[in-house]
Amino acid sequence: MPSYWIVVQRDNRELLETLSVAFRGRTGFSVVADRRRTPHAWRPRAFERREAQAVWGADEFIVAERLEPDCLLA
**Sorting pLDDT into bands at 50, 70 and 90, what band is 4?**
very high
The model's pTM is 0.66
Number of CB atoms found within 10 A of residue 34's CB: 19
Could you give the CA distance from residue 52 to residue 47 in angstroms, rounded to a whole number? 9
Can you tell me the mean pLDDT for 31-38? 82
The pLDDT value given to residue 50: 54
